[in-house]
Structure 1
């Protein structure tokens, strides 16, 4: 089965932009401050496993879950594209996304629960509504166009990069300045905005085509 590297790159770029491993390294370090190196690696491993499971479930079962609720993929793609666009605009403006930031009332008394690997690192910081919506749409596109291998390639490469970022966070944190992370976030925001617009245009095209017929 031939791999469409353009589609794989689109999947990788979307996931990299929306999960933004570079910008989340300081978050990881702040949440694991005071822990030993061994415990930090354990948190990184648990986070990586949680993100992997969340991604696989979203890609493989997302559309089936939508059918249970009677929601078409085109309607979901339009809503997902709008949600992803809002996240992208927050990134471009240099502010935290409301969709990927836990509310104060959801946190423990000390700010975060002890098991930070699941909450808030895995969800909502990495596997939030925008991530899930993006994966469901890509999963549908891959199944419809016979590009499962291409989707898997993009997803695996990103997960490998995410694992590297999580496990090397204590080292990378010494070199990532606030200015570098701000520039990277804005660039990823622009890429994510373009992908969001593409999702919405594809959805609107399908919806209006259906109305015409």
Structure 2
């Protein structure tokens, strides 16, 4: 079977848009403010590992979890598409989604850098509801269409980029302007909105076959 580079690109772009390493660099720096360079590096590694584990759980066990609750993939695809669309719309408006944002209390507290690697950096900032929904839908598509290799490639490429962004966050923070962050957030919002609409349309077509006639 021919390698589907388009699917790899779609997975990578969707994860980049929804987790947005560039926009999360300032968040990472604010959560580790005052920490030593070693502590920041340790936090970045722990966050990458936590995100990787969370993504693999969503890919490998997401379908089984839905089956336990009697939820079909099409139902979840529709709900996930709506959730991802809301996140995309908030990104287009230049604001962070509530589903992927830390609360004011979390921001104000003097948090230990090692502890923030898992919460709130990994969950819910990186592996939030939108990320989980997107991965479950992509995993089901990959299984039904025989594109597991492409899914692994897209996910692996993104996780490598995420690790590089977090590890180089102090350097990026000195050279990344607020304007660049805002532009990237809106651009990724457009890509994410397109992914969300594809999820919604695909779900509606499967639920209501008459719509395609």
> Structure 1 length normalisation: TM-score?
0.95
Answer yes or no: is the 8 Å Cα contact 2:31–2:107 preserved in 1.
Answer: no
Matching residue of 2:109? 110
Output aligned runs, 1:62-101, within 5 Å: 62-101=62-101
CA change 1:11–1:65 in 2 (3 A) is: same
Which structure 1 segments of 5+ residues have no match?
Answer: none
Give the distance between the partners of 1:113 and 1:4, measured in 2 at CA. Answer: 43
Output aligned runs, 1:50-199, within 5 Å: 50-104=50-104, 107=106, 110=109, 112=111, 115-199=115-199
Answer yes or no: is the 8 Å Cα contact 1:85–1:197 preserved in 2.
Answer: yes
Give the distance between the partners of 2:66 and 2:188, measured in 1 at CA. Answer: 28
Give the distance between the partners of 2:15 and 2:62, measured in 1 at CA. Answer: 16
> Structure 2 length normalisation: TM-score?
0.95
- RMSD, aligned CA: 1.8
Say which SS state the counterpart of residue 33 (structure 2) adopts: coil
Residue 151 of structure 1, CA deviation: 0.3
Give the distance between the partners of 2:104 and 2:27, measured in 1 at CA. Answer: 16
Residue 209 of structure 1, CA deviation: 1.9
Give the distance between the partners of 1:202 and 1:176, measured in 2 at CA. Answer: 37
CA change 1:211–1:3 in 2 (3 A) is: closer
